Structure 1
Amino acid sequence: MTPDALGFALAPQHLVVLPVLLPLATAAVMLLAGTRRRGAQALLNLASTSVNLVVALLLLAQVAAVAQAGTAAGAADPAQAGAAGALAVYLPGNWQVPLGIALVADRLSALMLVLAGGVALASLLFAIARWHLAGVYFHVLFQLQLMGLNGAFLTGDLFNLFVFFEVLLAASYGLLLHGGGRQRVRAGLHYVAVNLLASLLFLIGVAVLYGVAGTLNMADLALKLREVPAGDRGLLHAGAAILAVAFLAKAALWPLNFWLPPAYAAASTPVAGLFVILTKVGVYALLRLWTLCFAPGAGESALFGSAALVWGGLVTLAFGSVAMLASQHLARLAGYSVITSSGTLIAALGFNEPALSGGALYYMASSTLAGCALFLLVELLERARRMEVDTPRLDDPRRVLPTFTDAEQRPPVGVNLDDEEQVLIGRAIPAALAFLGVGFTLCALVIAGLPPLSGFVGKVAMLSTLLYVQGWAAWTLFALLILSGLAAATALLRVGMRCFWTLQGEPARLRVVETLPVGLLLAACALLVVRGEDALRYTRATAEALHRPGPYMDAVLRAQPVPPPSPAAAGETAP
């Protein structure tokens, strides 16, 4: 059976709910099984996370196929154009839209599901080496985190977006404290306080928008906001601004991002790798609602807040770039790279240019994968540096240097020697050191946006579009994209020199389960380059659908509940 046949055999409308139900059921089974069987929990978690990624890939393939078919049908018959907006709309309560909850799979949500599934699988593989044993409920919290992420990307209802936000944040609180320690508790308190405040603003914004429009279904909300009376327009904008502040705090916009570097640096390595996708949830929510509710056709509210998004993103991009240059700690540098990525995405969104948004979505996929790989490499590099500290120095009496009693044993003049006067030429580089060096170099190339990897492709896609956008903001973003790459390359080069060129003694031993996720993430970045044309075509089509939300709204509002089975179909007989 072909992958397409397999995917459609799974009933696409039911496949949409699987990314939410699967982690929820897995977490419930783990809780019922108790906390003693850590090995069985790890295997169950790994199996569930792997299946989740497969489901996300199936949705991605199907949504591209269905959207392409819907576009072709729309060209022939405009009445069928709504099929291009979404793969399927699933109504969990089987209530008519907009009264009930709706889960919607479209190009953007499918892309985010794949990114979340890939980052989650890589982080889990790394955690299985040893970190999952540092806490009792790690695997349960991990699955609940995944459930919240998937639900936030799939929900078509604003209140349920809040619910899934709280689920993923509640799980992240426990994961951040995983492993204990004073530093984690201190950073965790700041993280919890900021996110609780953002959640309160989220709830207030939702309440205001519901009071104005009388609905929380995103598609129906976008339709009704265009009919809001002029007298309520100020209240509408106030509610939208409060909601945007909540999203921007989660997306790490300056100055609301002070919590991110210490929290991500204090978190355990696999948790920090998983947290890379959390800032993208705020970016996703902003992108989804802003393009739906404040599209160019939204009347008096068209493009509301676009200037704030552009300049806020530019300041965040500049702040993250300067902070990377100032960082001396690799984990904090990785955290500031996440802030730089968020600033780039938010600024690109505010221009309302589909071509620019398409390049930004490609860049988002690339930076998310590379950011997760960099966080996973942090521990391996720090382990190597700890071994360097433990290695006796030249003046240490524990170190015994070789003595040459015969002139023939002495190396020729001009031959490169190490600190122990051993010949360097012809010596094999240890496999662990070679892996760390290659992995760190590839991460640096992607994050800095240097050729030939995917970060360069994403930046070039955005730069080529900015050449045709008028205004100082466009030229400022153009310059900052180049300067931020230079700053990232300089900062990462400095850290690389300190980590590799000063190493002494034997490098750290690495396990396969620790190196495999890093290799897979970097291979995915390489695949984005090899299939760059297909990936850019997908992200540009995604951006086009976002900036023209009519088909998406039609697909959601036309969804019908499943009729109850007739007595004959149910095998019943009339009395």
Structure 2
Amino acid sequence: MNPLPWMHHLIIAPVLLPLLVGALLIPVNQKRHARKFAFSVASGALLWGVAIALLVLVDQEHWPDGIGVYLASNWAAPFGIVLMVDRLAALMLVLTSTIALAVLVFSARRWDRVGVHFHSLFQFLLMGLNGAFLTNDLFNLFVFFEVMLAASYGLVLHGYNLRRIQAGMQYIAINLAASLLFLIGVSLIYAASGTLNIADLATRVSGLGAQDTWLLQIGATVLALAFLTKGAMWPLGFWLPTTYASASAPVGAMLVLMTKVGVYAVLRVWLAVFGEGSGEGASALAGFGLAALTVGGLATLLFGAVGMLSSEDGGRMAGYGAIISSGTLLVVIGHSGSAVLASGLYYLLGSTLAMAAFMLLIELTERIRPPGAALLAITMEAFAIEDKPEDPVGVGMPGTLTFLGLSFAACALVISGMPPLSGFVAKFSLFHAMLGATQGEVPATTWLIIALMVLGGLAAIIALMRLGVRTFWASGAVTAPRLQFSEAVPVGALVLACVLLTVQAGAVFDYLGRTANGLLRSTDYSARVLGEPPVQRAPAGGAQ
């Protein structure tokens, strides 16, 4: 058999590496947590390197059209398991590995010791996330979703207390219902089209009869409900703020990524199958559901803005901030223009990094409390009113309050879209792209989208300023909290990534422009995936 170039096997590495490491860490005794942490961080660093390598390879078009196709079982599409990496998938892999590595380092001194199998569950979560970004098949997408969710169930309950168990049970029930919808939607799509390969489905849509077309639309609608439940579209995202507020800080940061997986799945499937570039014969279904995504995104934006203003807890604010982010991205998908998509992807990068940093920062800022609050916590513990609060760890560091204050301000600016950081650049470019996409008079829908995005940013900055004032200035005698360098470095790194995203906005937008153009050329995408030949066996002894 003719061997593939070694770089081609990088496509499957983001799935295999965390699978193997997670399995190997299961039998390791929890007392050897330092060894488990070392393996887990080494795996995370290697994953980050693989993701960067894949991003460079696809952007330099090492593979035709910048799309790498890996036939896992050496069966040509649509019959075998196909993994595919393009500019969007590579970008999501880099984002995932960056946040995951920061979360692992943050967990080093505390959270990885609270319960058993933290690192194994974390690795399986990464496997599910990476597989969902790389797969080109709806059923395999379902499988990777379930791997991701099964790991997240354990992580949401990690370091459990009463509040965490209650929120975790709600989270599990909602996601099990969404998984059932996912399976029903996939079954209906297969019954209508005879395929679950996304690229193959895009080519078959134009040839379906009226009855099969109707069945495909029902299946796609049910599938969208599953995606949008995980992506937190209103009213399907009611579970998210409670889960964010109850989860431990590292798990909350990973939940930010998991919310984006639902949005990514909608973006990938809808632009490939129902996008304007899905082929000449598919005009009857071109744009199906995009208007509903726009309306749902607007409702989600409004719901998130109201929720931000009504929240007092930092975790719930982060949850509503993630809902605002999802609403904005759904509106972007509904527009589906090249410039709008590029700006939306830039917004996805900045908001995800800032929200992950904010989730980690919440735990550190909660250690800023006056002595009276600590006495009250001890009294409540003595009378069994509430679960025992976790003791602060670490040592006092010079400039701790300055670091926490500046990091909090940076996250607030990015999340709310205020200048001068990447959140403002993203929203300004979105406004420019939406207004530039119209010819003549600007539609009322566009003005409504802009107004709600401004309203969401205003609500976010009011809520976060209120939280910041209460934390840093209005809590009486503020003393510097005790924290580890391993807790401060990941937060600083994520904030620095937001700053670099602002400084290098030109280069990032160039890449995202190429990404958006590739997403809109779905015919090229289908031809590339379906045209990938299997590896041929070499004839024995040179004879056929």
TM-score w.r.t. length of structure 2: 0.91
Q: Given the alignment, which residue of 425, 431, 440 partners 1:463? A: 431
Q: CA RMSD in A?
A: 1.8
Q: Given the alignment, which residue of 163, 179, 185 partners 1:205? A: 185
Q: Render the CA deviation track for 1:16-47: whole Å, top value 9, x for unaligned.
A: 00000000010111124343421100110000
Given that residues 321 and 336 in structure 1 are in contact (C-alpha distance below 8 angstroms), is that contact kept between their aligned partners in structure 2? Answer: yes
Compute the displacement of 1:391 (Å).
8.2
Compute the displacement of 1:306 (Å).
1.2
Q: Secondary structure at the match of 1:355?
A: helix
Given that residues 311 and 473 in structure 1 are in contact (C-alpha distance below 8 angstroms), is that contact kept between their aligned partners in structure 2? Answer: no
Where in structure 2 are the equivalents of 1:68-467 lying within 5 Å?
A: 83-86=64-67, 88-296=68-276, 297=279, 298-385=282-369, 389-390=373-374, 431-467=399-435
Q: Render the CA deviation track for 1:229-263: whole Å, top value 9, x for unaligned.
A: 12222111101100000000000000011110111
In structure 2, what is the equivalent of residue 38 of structure 1?
Answer: 33
Given that residues 85 and 552 in structure 1 are in contact (C-alpha distance below 8 angstroms), is that contact kept between their aligned partners in structure 2? Answer: no
Q: Render the CA deviation track for 1:273-315: whole Å, top value 9, x for unaligned.
A: 1111001100000000000110224221110011110010011
Compute the displacement of 1:537 (Å).
1.2
- Residues 317 and 58 (structure 1 numbering): CA distance in 2 closer, same or farther, change over 3 Å? same
- Structure 1 window deviating more from structure 2 (179-188 vs 226-235): it is 226-235
Q: Secondary structure at the match of 1:90?
A: strand
Q: Match for 2:367: what amino acid?
A: R
Q: Match for 1:318: what amino acid?
A: L
Compute the displacement of 1:387 (Å).
5.2
Residues in 2 aligned to 1:386 and 1:542: alpha-carbon distance in whole angstroms: 49
Where in structure 2 are the equivalents of 1:481-560 lying within 5 Å?
A: 481-503=453-475, 504-560=477-533
Q: Render the CA deviation track for 1:298-350: whole Å, top value 9, x for unaligned.
A: 22111001111001001101110111111101111011100100000001110
Q: Match for 2:65: what amino acid?
A: A
Give unpaired runs (5+ residues) of structure 1.
1-8, 71-82, 393-428
Given that residues 308 and 463 in structure 2 are in contact (C-alpha distance below 8 angstroms), is that contact kept between their aligned partners in structure 1? Answer: yes
Q: Render the CA deviation track for 1:481-522: whole Å, top value 9, x for unaligned.
A: 222111111111111100001241422112100000001101
Compute the displacement of 1:64 (Å).
0.7
- Residues 241 and 505 (structure 1 numbering): CA distance in 2 closer, same or farther, change over 3 Å? closer
Residues in 2 aligned to 1:355 and 1:93: alpha-carbon distance in whole angstroms: 37
Given that residues 466 and 475 in structure 1 are in contact (C-alpha distance below 8 angstroms), is that contact kept between their aligned partners in structure 2? Answer: no
Given that residues 387 and 507 in structure 1 are in contact (C-alpha distance below 8 angstroms), is that contact kept between their aligned partners in structure 2? Answer: no
Residues in 1 aligned to 2:65 and 2:446: alpha-carbon distance in whole angstroms: 31
Q: Match for 1:110: what amino acid?
A: A
Question: Of the two, which has the highest radius of gyration?
Answer: 1
Residues in 2 aligned to 1:549 and 1:369: alpha-carbon distance in whole angstroms: 29
Given that residues 83 and 135 in structure 2 are in contact (C-alpha distance below 8 angstroms), is that contact kept between their aligned partners in structure 1? Answer: yes
For these two proteins, the number of residue pairs brought into alignment is 512
Given that residues 85 and 551 in structure 1 are in contact (C-alpha distance below 8 angstroms), is that contact kept between their aligned partners in structure 2? Answer: no
Residues in 2 aligned to 1:309 and 1:344: alpha-carbon distance in whole angstroms: 10
Given that residues 368 and 478 in structure 2 are in contact (C-alpha distance below 8 angstroms), is that contact kept between their aligned partners in structure 1? Answer: no
Residues in 1 aligned to 2:374 and 2:398: alpha-carbon distance in whole angstroms: 18
- Residues 387 and 561 (structure 1 numbering): CA distance in 2 closer, same or farther, change over 3 Å? farther
Q: Given the alignment, which residue of 4, 7, 11 partners 2:6? A: 11
Residues in 1 aligned to 2:299 and 2:231: alpha-carbon distance in whole angstroms: 14
Residues in 2 aligned to 1:323 and 1:534: alpha-carbon distance in whole angstroms: 35
Residues in 2 aligned to 1:111 and 1:161: alpha-carbon distance in whole angstroms: 18
Given that residues 359 and 461 in structure 1 are in contact (C-alpha distance below 8 angstroms), is that contact kept between their aligned partners in structure 2? Answer: yes
Q: Secondary structure at the match of 1:98?
A: coil
In structure 1, what is the equivalent of residue 382 of structure 2?
Answer: none
Residues in 2 aligned to 1:27 and 1:388: alpha-carbon distance in whole angstroms: 43
Q: Render the CA deviation track for 1:342-396: whole Å, top value 9, x for unaligned.
A: 000001110121111110000000000000000000001111126572489xxxx
Residues in 1 aligned to 2:528 and 2:39: alpha-carbon distance in whole angstroms: 36
Compute the displacement of 1:463 (Å).
0.5
- Structure 1 window deviating more from structure 2 (300-309 vs 467-476): it is 467-476
Q: Given the alignment, which residue of 16, 22, 26 partners 2:21? A: 26
Residues in 1 aligned to 2:539 and 2:285: alpha-carbon distance in whole angstroms: 47
Given that residues 199 and 530 in structure 2 are in contact (C-alpha distance below 8 angstroms), is that contact kept between their aligned partners in structure 1? Answer: yes
Compute the displacement of 1:122 (Å).
1.1
Q: Render the CA deviation track for 1:139-193: whole Å, top value 9, x for unaligned.
A: 0000000000000000011100000000000000000000011111110111011
- Residues 521 and 512 (structure 1 numbering): CA distance in 2 closer, same or farther, change over 3 Å? same
Given that residues 60 and 66 in structure 2 are in contact (C-alpha distance below 8 angstroms), is that contact kept between their aligned partners in structure 1? Answer: no
Q: Render the CA deviation track for 1:432-477: whole Å, top value 9, x for unaligned.
A: 1111101000001111111111111111110101213342221111
In structure 2, what is the equivalent of residue 64 of structure 1?
Answer: 59
Residues in 1 aligned to 2:113 and 2:45: alpha-carbon distance in whole angstroms: 20
Given that residues 85 and 555 in structure 1 are in contact (C-alpha distance below 8 angstroms), is that contact kept between their aligned partners in structure 2? Answer: no
In structure 2, what is the equivalent of residue 417 of structure 1?
Answer: none
Q: Secondary structure at the match of 1:37?
A: helix
Q: Render the CA deviation track for 1:39-95: whole Å, top value 9, x for unaligned.
A: 10011000001110111111111111117xx8xxxxxxxxxxxx2151x10011011
Given that residues 388 and 505 in structure 1 are in contact (C-alpha distance below 8 angstroms), is that contact kept between their aligned partners in structure 2? Answer: no
Residues in 2 aligned to 1:96 and 1:388: alpha-carbon distance in whole angstroms: 67
Given that residues 22 and 120 in structure 2 are in contact (C-alpha distance below 8 angstroms), is that contact kept between their aligned partners in structure 1? Answer: yes
- Structure 1 window deviating more from structure 2 (334-343 vs 381-390): it is 381-390
Residues in 2 aligned to 1:460 and 1:343: alpha-carbon distance in whole angstroms: 17
In structure 1, what is the equivalent of residue 380 of structure 2?
Answer: none
Q: Match for 2:422: what amino acid?
A: S
Residues in 1 aligned to 2:371 and 2:327: alpha-carbon distance in whole angstroms: 36
Over the matched positions of the two proteins, sequence identity in percent amounts to 48
Residues in 2 aligned to 1:450 and 1:368: alpha-carbon distance in whole angstroms: 16
Residues in 1 aligned to 2:5 and 2:505: alpha-carbon distance in whole angstroms: 29
- Structure 1 window deviating more from structure 2 (519-528 vs 25-34): it is 25-34
